[in-house]
Structure 1
Amino acid sequence: MSNSTPSQRLYSLDALRGFDMFWIMGGEDFIHELMKASQHPAAIWMAAQLSHVAWNGFRFYDLIFPLFLFISGVSTPYSVGREVDKGIENKKILLRIIKRGLILVLLGIIYNNGLQLKELSHIRFPSVLGRIGLAYMFACIIYLYASQRFQYVWFAGILIGYWLLLKFNAAPGFPAGDLTMAGNFASWFDRSVLPGRLHLVIHDPEGLCSTIPAICTGLLGIFAGNFLKNNTDKTPTQKAAFIAIGGIICLIVGGTWDMFFPINKNLWTSSFMLYAGGCSLILLAIFYFIIDVMEYKRWAFFFTVIGMNSILIYLSVKFIDWYYTAEGLFRWLGQLFGENYYEVVIVACVILVKWLFLRFMYRHKLFLRV
């Protein structure tokens, strides 16, 4: 924890990160409770979008994780790039990048298992934070040591290579190219090499093998951040338009690739990476245009407060009983709305309590740095 002013960055990027985290810190639960209480068709549709597909396919909730990793990539030219511009040695920057990646892996293990002693077979090592740490780390290393042209080569090579890896391999006893949970190569690889337990016993959605294409999610964010920061021959409006067009292209390519290599978040398939990346680019273009170009910023303050301490609020659920606090303070309000909408009100109050906590941290310039 540091008591300092946050480093200069795109205001829209903090808002977009906060928008992303909002759904994790309670927005998803609010919609699901609203659906249960109202059974309104719109709430039912939104609740469906705020749940993961079982295997192949894509819903809005499948975007939350890759969007966060993409945003980390966008910030890289502003953070790592600033250190490069200052003339700091690559070796020092590399050590900081590796340190950050490994800390995220450790925090992910703590998030999964808590601060308690367990048998090795009961510990889950793969995690959301772990994937962010590893994918971001390798994306930053490519950014640090490869020219811009070879960054694109790495991007295409990883996506095509991962496709070929899964196309021509499979778990023992399954035909090459099998993409079922039991038969695909990535899940078999994780079962073979990872210690401890996997989230779904025979598969882990944050497994080691499927972290490889996630590097490209970070790289895509780096491409966007580099374009926004260094492309001085285009106006801000043109930059927003080009990023949106890039997003549409990614959607088309990812959607087309889906016919041969299904969009699948569990395997982080190359088509999924491009499709989620396309959505991320379009959201970045929208937020950037409204907030940084048009300078409509007030509405985004709610999300910015969340985005500035995103990892803190993500980890907090393992150490703070937010529901207990919200219910203790606002049970009376839930009772006023009646039994049917009681949980809807309490979940809304959970979001409020979390936000007020983050607002306090923001006001006093307290930010969790990794």
Structure 2
Amino acid sequence: MANSLPHPATLIHAKRLHQETGFLKSRLMSMDAYRGFVMLLMAGELLHFSELHDAFPTSVFWAFLAYQQSHVDWAGCSLHDLIQPSFSFLVGVALPYSMASRSMQGGSIRSQFGHALRRSLILVVLGIFLRSIHSTQTNFTFEDTLTQIGLGYPFLFLLGTTAPRTQWFALAGILVGYWLAFVLYPASATTFNNYASVGVPATWTHHYTGLAAHFNKNSNLAWAFDTWFLNLFPRPTLFLFNRGGYVTLSFIPTLGTMLLGLQAGQWLRAEQPDRAIIRQLLIAGAGSLALGLVLHLTGICPIVKRIWTPAWTLFSGGCCFAFMAFFYALIDVAKRRSWAFFLTVIGLNSIAIYCLVELISPFITNSFYIHLGHGPFLVFGPAFEPLLAGAATLGTFYLILLWMYRRKLFIRI
């Protein structure tokens, strides 16, 4: 009889599995898995595919991975370019769930808006802090993912309290208004002749002519705004340009990306068949992609992530709809969840992994070298050392997140 009793370790494992399953079922797991996928792409920079491409320049495989792990120079899109819009899109998806949860707990719209303002402030401050860790003083910059979401989040919340029709009108107003503001600003092709002064090399091949010239790098409306706005803050030197062409005003069309996510979140929460939800997501994705491409190909508005053009909002939003449909269909509808556990662990602590990568990546990698030396990372030759060291660092971060997950420790803002 005694031998038929299950081992205590088996009971503990079964209890833990039951708790984890119950916890995951109480959430839209596809949203967490998608967020985990996005954060994995971000943290994947630690794998240094570009260095392997440099070591093996004729390899199509490493060239492909290096391209997908880098931002395109100006117009176009890589998988890496979809990290920020996906993260922004998922903020919109999560909002209806967050508002419903707080309402069930008795939270008024006024108190929820107060929370939205606090969350906005924390995101902006955290973004500035993370961008200042290698500076001699506070680096007041507002173009990174956290600050962009923070700047737009209060407006997203207010629009989340309105009817879907109002939200669609707001989206149209944001995209048309942002485009119009750019095209009314003098085009660089007729007013700008010193690109070297704004960090654009003479060999730059991405200049546009015609209507699209209003969206050229470091010679557009948003760049002009930053040469005024960013110099209002203490700086070691006068701000003249951002080397990547990124701009503060991108938070306006980023709000458009979050509004697309808000629509997806409202559809996912609606009481309708799963097939109908998936169909809505796919139709919205195809429509957004097509419209973005039409604007780009006709020269009306190029697809440029760095200044978040309206065409980029639509194109990247279409990709986000498609990703959301894929994860939702596979995980929440088909119930194929076991494979996504790895991503879910990351997605449930997205702020934690973001901060870990930004703050202590060099420390973790150097610790491996200090205590293990370079030998274990040279097993496949010097070319693969950055990949293996990065994988070890990434694995360490995952173990930290898994430990946090086991103990239900989730960083929320």
- What TM-score, normalized by structure 1, do the two folds share? 0.89
Instruction: State whether residues 171 and 185 of structure 1, in contact with CA within 8 Å, keep that contact through their aligned partners in structure 2.
Output: no
Higher alpha-carbon deviation: 245-254 or 83-92: 83-92
Match of 2:248 in 1: 208
Higher alpha-carbon deviation: 59-68 or 22-31: 22-31
Q: What SS does the aligned partner of 2:75 have?
A: coil
Q: 2:115 aligns with which of 50, 74, 96?
A: 96
- What is the Cα deviation at residue 353 of structure 1? 0.9
Residue 66 (1) aligns with residue 108 (2): no
Q: What SS does the aligned partner of 2:215 have?
A: coil
Residue 267 (1) aligns with residue 283 (2): no
Give the residue type in structure 2 aligned to 1:180: N
Match of 2:8 in 1: none
2: CA distance, partners of 1:115 / 1:9: 38
Higher alpha-carbon deviation: 125-134 or 183-192: 125-134
Q: 2:292 aligns with which of 232, 244, 254?
A: 254
2: CA distance, partners of 1:183 / 1:110: 28
Structure 2 stretches of 5 or more lacking a match?
1-22, 193-210
Q: Deviations over 1:5-46 (max 9, x none)?
A: 799421011111010010211256343344344442122022
Match of 2:154 in 1: 137
Residue 185 (1) aligns with residue 213 (2): no
Higher alpha-carbon deviation: 268-277 or 45-54: 45-54
- What is the Cα deviation at residue 107 of structure 1? 0.2
1: CA distance, partners of 2:280 / 2:217: 37
- What is the Cα deviation at residue 84 of structure 1? 3.7
Residue 229 (1) aligns with residue 269 (2): yes
Instruction: State whether residues 69 and 132 of structure 1, in contact with CA within 8 Å, keep that contact through their aligned partners in structure 2.
Output: yes
Give the residue type in structure 2 aligned to 1:185: L
Relative to structure 1, the CA distance from residue 329 to residue 352 in structure 2 (aligned partners, 3 Å threshold; closer, same or farther) is farther
- What is the Cα deviation at residue 143 of structure 1? 1.0
Give the residue type in structure 2 aligned to 1:182: N
Residue 239 (1) aligns with residue 277 (2): yes
Q: 1:153 aligns with which of 166, 169, 174?
A: 169
2: CA distance, partners of 1:47 / 1:85: 46
Q: What SS does the aligned partner of 2:131 have?
A: helix
Question: How many residues are matched?
Answer: 361
- What TM-score, normalized by structure 2, do the two folds share? 0.80
- What is the Cα deviation at residue 269 of structure 1? 0.4
Instruction: State whether residues 364 and 393 of structure 2, in contact with CA within 8 Å, keep that contact through their aligned partners in structure 1.
Output: yes
Instruction: Report the RMSD for the aligned CA atoms in angstroms.
Output: 2.6
Of all paired residues, the percent bearing the same amino acid is 34
2: CA distance, partners of 1:128 / 1:199: 24
- What is the Cα deviation at residue 333 of structure 1? 2.7
Q: Deviations over 1:56-80 (max 9, x none)?
A: 2222211111100101110111111
Instruction: State whether residues 142 and 148 of structure 2, in contact with CA within 8 Å, keep that contact through their aligned partners in structure 1.
Output: no
Instruction: State whether residues 156 and 255 of structure 2, in contact with CA within 8 Å, keep that contact through their aligned partners in structure 1.
Output: yes
1: CA distance, partners of 2:102 / 2:25: 12
2: CA distance, partners of 1:78 / 1:291: 18
Q: What is the 5 A alignment of 1:70-81?
A: 70-81=89-100
Larger gyration radius, structure 1 or structure 2? 2
Give the residue type in structure 1 aligned to 2:383: N
- What is the Cα deviation at residue 87 of structure 1? 5.1
Relative to structure 1, the CA distance from residue 246 to residue 318 in structure 2 (aligned partners, 3 Å threshold; closer, same or farther) is closer
Q: What SS does the aligned partner of 2:225 have?
A: helix
Structure 1 stretches of 5 or more lacking a match?
none
Residue 162 (1) aligns with residue 205 (2): no
Higher alpha-carbon deviation: 129-138 or 59-68: 129-138
Give the residue type in structure 2 aligned to 1:141: L
2: CA distance, partners of 1:326 / 1:353: 10
2: CA distance, partners of 1:129 / 1:206: 14
